[in-house]
């Protein structure tokens, strides 16, 4: 059995011991082919890409998180665009809108999001979307910028069926995090039980959102097993079947580089 963590942050600022120990602990737990999210400035993006170049079991994404919209600049955009061209970069993201924390002005969040959606479409790479309290604007920008041409993922899905339907319609898959294991997550659990089987993924969003029973601890990719088990319960499937499904879905969504990382992990050659 192999579970793919489709969204984790492995920067040195989160893992002082470096990225390799948590990756090895994940492998021991049956978790491999991680998608390392490179956001939070150029060094973090470069760090994710270098990790993916160094390790055959890791691929990367790069983007500008909505929290950091204020820090976007033509120079940053040009540097990230160069990284997006790298074959180990399988998606653009996470990008999106966060009206819960509002760390950057909303108008700016929207314009930066739109620019990077357009960049993803130009480079023919799928998009990893972060959205919080911003359902309508998120859908509107994705539609307006032609995101359907490349599709992507709604990461850390935390909305309802109505939003899920609209996202699926735009060719965005639904990725479930540790939130799925929380008691107060009824609408997310409802969507997880209902969503089409070929459109579901799992992720940790490490170092955030540790699943129950590890809630409160700093999260790492190995913990995804708890989220996958909850997803299996909600769908009335065996854990092995959920692993098989979500791993196939991840390979289909993120393309040949991830598919290769999955094969290498499954055959013990990574
Ligand atoms: Zn996020
Ligand atoms: Zn994230």
Find the Cα–Cα–Cα–Cα dihedral 53, 57, 61, 62, rounded to 10°. Answer: -40
Q: What would the two tokens of residue 50 be?
A: 């270098």
- Full-model pTM: 0.98
Mean pLDDT of the 160-165 span? 98
Nearest ligand (C-alpha, residue 98): 1
Q: Are 267 and 23 in contact (CB under 8 A)?
A: no
Task: Using the predicted structure, report yes or no on whether residue 136 has a pLDDT greater than 90.
Answer: yes
Q: Which of 161, 105, 116 is nearest to 135 (CA)?
A: 161
Task: Using the predicted structure, report yes or no on whether residue 63 has a pLDDT greater than 90.
Answer: yes
Task: Using the predicted structure, report yes or no on whether residue 270 has a pLDDT greater than 90.
Answer: no
* Whole-number Å distance between alpha carbons of 222 and 220: 6
Ligand 2 center–CA 92 separation, angstroms: 12
Percent of the chain with pLDDT over 70: 100
Ligand 1 center–CA 61 separation, angstroms: 13
Ligand 2 center–CA 140 separation, angstroms: 22
pLDDT range class, residue 4, cuts 50, 70, 90: very high
Ligand 1 center–CA 66 separation, angstroms: 9
> What's the mean per-residue pLDDT of the chain?
97
Ligand 1 center–CA 156 separation, angstroms: 7
Ligand 1 center–CA 155 separation, angstroms: 7
Q: Are 19 and 223 in contact (CB under 8 A)?
A: no
Ligand 2 center–CA 122 separation, angstroms: 23
**pLDDT digits over 117-134, tens only?**
999 999 999 999 999 999
Query: Which pLDDT score is estimated for 125?
Result: 98
Ligand 2 center–CA 67 separation, angstroms: 11
Mean pLDDT of the 33-44 span? 97
Residue 256: count other Cβ atoms within 10 Å of its Cβ. 10
Which of the two residues, 270 and 23, has the higher pLDDT score?
23
Mean pLDDT of the 53-79 span? 98
Mean pLDDT of the 69-79 span? 98
Give the angle subtended at the CA of 160 by the CAs of 154 and 162, to the nearest 5°: 95
Nearest ligand (C-alpha, residue 6): 2
Task: Using the predicted structure, report yes or no on whether residue 216 has a pLDDT greater than 90.
Answer: no
* Whole-number Å distance between alpha carbons of 33 and 4: 6
Which residue is it, tokens 């929290």? 67
pLDDT range class, residue 70, cuts 50, 70, 90: very high
Q: What would the two tokens of residue 48 be?
A: 């994710």
Query: Which pLDDT score is estimated for 32?
Result: 97
Task: Using the predicted structure, report yes or no on whether residue 48 has a pLDDT greater than 90.
Answer: yes
* Whole-number Å distance between alpha carbons of 216 and 211: 9
Nearest ligand (C-alpha, residue 204): 2
Ligand 2 center–CA 224 separation, angstroms: 14
Nearest ligand (C-alpha, residue 155): 1
Query: Which pLDDT score is estimated for 181?
Result: 97
Task: Using the predicted structure, report yes or no on whether residue 207 has a pLDDT greater than 90.
Answer: yes
Q: Are 201 and 262 in contact (CB under 8 A)?
A: no
Query: Which pLDDT score is estimated for 40?
Result: 96
Ligand 1 center–CA 130 separation, angstroms: 5
DSSP-derived letter for residue 180 is: G
Q: Are 40 and 233 in contact (CB under 8 A)?
A: no
**pLDDT digits over 225-264, tens only?**
999 999 999 999 999 999 999 999 999 999 999 999 999 9
Mean pLDDT of the 166-181 span? 98
DSSP-derived letter for residue 218 is: P
Identify residues whose C-beta is under 5 A from ligand 1, the ion. 94, 130
Query: Which pLDDT score is estimated for 38?
Result: 98
Q: Which of 161, 117, 119 is nearest to 138 (CA)?
A: 117
Nearest ligand (C-alpha, residue 96): 1
Ligand 2 center–CA 116 separation, angstroms: 16
């Amino acid at each position: 059995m192999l579970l793919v963590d489709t969204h984790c942050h492995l920067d040195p600022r989160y893992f002082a011991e470096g990225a390799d120990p948590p990756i090895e602990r994940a492998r021991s737990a049956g978790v491999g082919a991680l998608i390392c999210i490179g956001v939070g400035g150029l060094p973090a993006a470069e760090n994710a890409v270098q990790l993916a170049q160094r390790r055959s079991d890791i691929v990367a994404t790069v983007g500008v998180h909505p929290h950091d919209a204020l820090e976007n600049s033509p120079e940053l955009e040009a540097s990230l665009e160069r990284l997006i061209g790298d074959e180990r970069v399988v998606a653009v993201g996470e990008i999106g809108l966060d009206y819960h924390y509002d760390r950057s002005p909303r108008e700016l969040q929207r314009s930066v999001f739109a620019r990077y959606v357009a960049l993803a479409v130009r480079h023919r790479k799928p998009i990893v979307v972060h959205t919080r309290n911003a359902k309508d604007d998120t859908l509107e920008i994705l539609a307006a910028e032609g995101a359907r041409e490349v599709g992507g993922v709604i990461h850390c899905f935390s909305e309802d069926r109505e939003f899920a339907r609209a996202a699926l319609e735009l060719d965005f898959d639904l990725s479930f995090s540790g939130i799925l294991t929380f008691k107060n997550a009824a609408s997310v659990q409802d969507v997880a039980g209902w969503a089409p089987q070929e459109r579901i993924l799992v992720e940790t969003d490490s170092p955030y959102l540790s699943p129950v029973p590890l809630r409160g601890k700093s999260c790492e990719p190995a913990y995804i097993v708890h989220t996958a088990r909850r997803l299996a319960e909600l769908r009335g499937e065996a854990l092995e079947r959920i692993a098989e499904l979500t791993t196939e879905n991840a390979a289909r969504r993120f393309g040949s580089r991830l598919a290769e990382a999955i094969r290498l992990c499954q055959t013990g050659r990574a």
